[in-house]
Structure 1
Amino acid sequence: MKMQKVTLTLLSAVLSVGMIAGCGNSTNGSATKSSNAPATDAPKKETATLTMWGGVPAESGPQAVVDAWNAKHPETQVKYERFVNDDAGNLKLDTALSVNQGVDLFVNYQLPILNRRVDAGYALDLSEFKEYNIDDKMGKDAASWKIKEKYYGMPTKKNISFVWMNKNMLDAAGLQMPALDWTLQDMTQYAAKLKADKRWGFVQHTAGYSNIMDGVSAGIGFTKADGTSNLDNADLKPAYEGFFNMMHTDKSMPPLGEQLTSKMPVDTMFLKGESAMLGAGEFVFRSANDLKTNPRSFKIAFATIPKASKDSKDYKYAGGLGDVISINAKSKYKQQAWEFLKWYADGGMMPLAAGGRIPSSKDVNPDEAIKLLLGANEATYDIDSLKKVVFGKFPTQVISLPSQVVDARREEYEKYFLKNQSLDVTLGATSKRHNEFLKQNKK
């Protein structure tokens, strides 16, 4: 009996302990379990993946840029999407923006196109970011890209148009490097002295025929005070007459008709020594630095695009800033896109310098940019003239004419250079077509 009582007592104690343990598990089981298990990781942050659209082939610098960023920013990754900077390519980008599909940042190459995207609500007003001063970083030329006094994109590169010069031919002709403010009449005289058998004095890339016209119009205004076209202003005549005289009087420049029908490769002609001077932009560096494809034994020097005449008032040189990068107003990663954009502008874009895209930020070392631009070919260039032209202080302009007016003007000046109509008729027809556009698009 006594043994039975002890056994019951022990059994009662065991059951009591079990009940207590059971109660503990039921009320604080998770805490007990977690105290014995490894600590759980904090929730992982979502990786922000940005897509940047640009017109430069990925292998020409953009891929190296995003690879460098991605290696240091695992929390924000960037993909590059290339679009061709033509009507079809810009339509492709605009379509993607309209449906908000895969666009966080995008590059604008023409002011009228950026204007259109701002009106459509695609581009974010960058004034919401207060810690970065675009005017201070990029200089006064950046203001050309303001829309309603605000930035809807950040200019990131120097837009450079200039005259490429065969320094060896210049020296052989006894010609000095031209002054920075030389005129179209000066260039006409140089071209006449530099021409020779099987060699033009000057060739002009088709995209740059209007550079001098725009330089004049930027100073006097594309429209008059009453809002009508100013593209028939008499101050524009020297810009037309200089090219006409080189084509048809001095014959130091190919006639435009011959250039268009033969699809004349003016860049290659200059690099082969078939022309002493070339009017073109920084994009020629890609070919000029490819000495395997374009071998040459001469040194290249640089001059500014000439003024229309010594009397040109408030003339503005072709150039300014370009590659204006906007943030999609509907991107869900606006802050991350802004951080990338600042990094890109202040030096991250340096891999593009090898292809001629010189960063415009004051934080970028110009000597470093030139070294990347020229690579191992530095000895084949006149560095002093390059620095004066590329980093000189000139009043510049970014073309603001809508593409429809640019096309209409080109159609009219081609008739003049082809000797199909007089200069006065050309200017009058250009002004008339501009006025028609202004009337149709009056807001």
Structure 2
Amino acid sequence: MLKKWVFSFGIASLLAGLLSACGGGTNNEPAAKPQGSGAPASGSASAPAAAPVTLKLHMWYNVQQDNWDAVFKAFNQKYPNIKVEAVTAGDNNSTEYLKKLDLAAASGDQIDVMMFSSATYYAQRVGLNMMEPLDSYIAKDGYKVSDEYLIDPAIGGKTYGLPGKKVTFFVMLNKDHLDEAKLPIPKDWTWDEFMDYAKKLTKGEGANKRYGTFFYIFPTYNIMALANQMDDPNLVKSDGSSNMDNPLIRKSLEIRKQMEQIDKSAFPYAETASQKLNYRPLYFSQKTSMLLTGDYMIPEAGGTDKVPATFKSVFAPYPKVNKSDPTTTTAGSDMLSVFARSAHKQEAYQFIRWYTTEGIQLQGKYLSSWKKADLNKIIDNLIGGTKTPDMVDKESLLATMKNSIPQKLYIPPAYQDEADKAYASEVDKFNLGEQDLETTLKNAKKKVEEVIQKNSKK
């Protein structure tokens, strides 16, 4: 019976891994004794099991580069009978990691803790029954996820993971270019103002041209004006219906056309796609003045050995549609989950709870989703860990982080990748100037709704 389960589970997982490319016995030991609603993980566990346990954490991060050795050492000092070992290629490629994770699950390899870089990947594997529900552990620890964390990752009323690294989107700007154009650091701005800045920051012609901004090939950049909305910020609404009639999808495409094809204040999409341009070298070589990006760029803002920073970076909130709108930002996080077939579920939960509270702060590499984390200290650690800390403007960064309101976490359907690709197949033609806006919206709507309809029958 177990072999049959592993085989069926493996096939389904491998299929999911291919789609997303954009175990031992069970242990139902109850969770630790409650320590009160405000207690972090280190105080939430009873005495560790007598026998030593080694957990396997599957992820994509580089252990040394991202200071995971310090995390594992600190956890083991707190819980001497529990060790954590990373299973990772260390290449920071989260999509390739998913293929390896699915293969490991299909092969029956030891998996105790899994990480997911997006809600899409998290939701897909919840649908495959890969994760242990954590509600009983959380209840016995005596806290509510929504009280403790900025992001509540519940799906269908159940919690299958806890949020670690918080991802906030903002605009990163070259201070020298702003000063040259006599532009102030934006503290609250609209998309129209963002476009005006890009025009004023664009300079030169031909090979020496400097563009005001750059949009990468990620799906988010095709729904820019929609992506930071508080409700239904995606192609598919939270109730599973189509969001393709949302006027902000039209607005997003109008922004790209205006900037890439008319104002020519953003890198042409044709160059970005054909030359596989990357935002990091373009920004640090000063070929572009602004980046709409995420806080994963903070540790790089002061430069690295490979890509040094020769100018100061300042920060501004994610642009909004109307001046009267709240200053919101997309809500994202790395999710940490316990594998459903782990033989060490209690210990795996202990690590997840500890890491998402205390551990991530001492790691000093990421912003935390824990509401009680010391943001000022974390920012200091992030800036201090860069190659040239003086090149990072703490004041504008801290103000942006404090004043940006995280949207509600959108848990996408398991077929989100399929919907994104259907939409992108039409938007690519529009971004290349090969198809007009009305045709693009019409065809994209039809394709996305066909994906929804097909999957709703399953």
Counterpart-to-counterpart distance in 1, 2:425 and 2:304: 36
Deviation at 1:406, TM superposition (A): 1.2
1:5-404 to structure 2, matched below 5 A, reads 45-59=50-64, 60-82=66-88, 85-98=93-106, 100-129=108-137, 130=139, 131=141, 132-139=143-150, 142-143=151-152, 145-180=153-188, 182-197=189-204, 198-207=209-218, 208-210=220-222, 211-215=224-228, 218-219=231-232, 222-223=235-236, 228-310=241-323, 317-318=329-330, 320-350=331-361, 352-354=363-365, 357-375=366-384, 377-396=388-407, 398=409, 400=412, 402-404=416-418
Unaligned runs of 5+ in 1: 1-43
Identify if the C-alpha distance between structure 1 residues 169 and 258 changes in structure 2 by more than 3 Å, giving closer, same or farther: same
Counterpart-to-counterpart distance in 2, 1:217 and 1:72: 39
Which of 441, 445, 448 is matched with 1:431 structurally?
Answer: 445
- Structure possessing the higher radius of gyration over alpha carbons: 1
Spell out, residue by residue over 1:180-209, the C-alpha distance to the aligned partner (whole angstroms, 9 max, x if none).
3x2211111001111111211111232241
**Structure with greater helix share of residues:** 1
Aligned pairs, how many? Answer: 392
Identify if the C-alpha distance between structure 1 residues 406 and 316 changes in structure 2 by more than 3 Å, giving closer, same or farther: farther
Deviation at 1:171, TM superposition (A): 2.3
Deviation at 1:416, TM superposition (A): 0.8
Spell out, residue by residue over 1:399-441, the C-alpha distance to the aligned partner (whole angstroms, 9 max, x if none).
5261111122222222111111111111112211111111111
Counterpart-to-counterpart distance in 1, 2:238 and 2:160: 27
Counterpart-to-counterpart distance in 1, 2:304 and 2:50: 49
Spell out, residue by residue over 1:358-388, the C-alpha distance to the aligned partner (whole angstroms, 9 max, x if none).
1121232112211211116433222122112
Spell out, residue by residue over 1:126-184, the C-alpha distance to the aligned partner (whole angstroms, 9 max, x if none).
11112133211113xx12x210122100011211222111122212222122233x221
Secondary structure of 1:150 counterpart: coil
Unaligned runs of 5+ in 2: 1-48
- Whether the aligned pair in 2 keeps the contact of 1:103 and 1:331 (CA below 8 Å) is yes
Identify if the C-alpha distance between structure 1 residues 223 and 342 changes in structure 2 by more than 3 Å, giving closer, same or farther: closer
1:412 aligned partner: 426
Q: TM-score, normalised by structure 1?
A: 0.81
Q: Which amino acid aligns with 1:174?
A: K
Deviation at 1:283, TM superposition (A): 2.9
Counterpart-to-counterpart distance in 2, 1:225 and 1:113: 16
Q: Which amino acid aligns with 2:72?
A: V
Deviation at 1:226, TM superposition (A): 9.4
Identify if the C-alpha distance between structure 1 residues 310 and 421 changes in structure 2 by more than 3 Å, giving closer, same or farther: farther
* Superposition RMSD in Å: 2.6
- Whether the aligned pair in 1 keeps the contact of 2:318 and 2:327 (CA below 8 Å) is no
Secondary structure of 1:121 counterpart: coil
Counterpart-to-counterpart distance in 1, 2:450 and 2:328: 26
Q: Which amino acid aligns with 1:195?
A: T
Identify if the C-alpha distance between structure 1 residues 220 and 147 changes in structure 2 by more than 3 Å, giving closer, same or farther: closer
Counterpart-to-counterpart distance in 2, 1:162 and 1:352: 23
Secondary structure of 2:277 counterpart: coil
Q: TM-score, normalised by structure 2?
A: 0.78
Identify if the C-alpha distance between structure 1 residues 381 and 49 changes in structure 2 by more than 3 Å, giving closer, same or farther: same
Spell out, residue by residue over 1:318-367, the C-alpha distance to the aligned partner (whole angstroms, 9 max, x if none).
2x13111001122221111122112111121235533xx21121232112
Counterpart-to-counterpart distance in 2, 1:353 and 1:203: 29
Counterpart-to-counterpart distance in 2, 1:193 and 1:347: 44
Q: Which amino acid aligns with 1:416?
A: F
Counterpart-to-counterpart distance in 2, 1:224 and 1:323: 22
Q: Which amino acid aligns with 1:403?
A: D
Counterpart-to-counterpart distance in 2, 1:299 and 1:224: 39
Identify if the C-alpha distance between structure 1 residues 55 and 417 changes in structure 2 by more than 3 Å, giving closer, same or farther: same
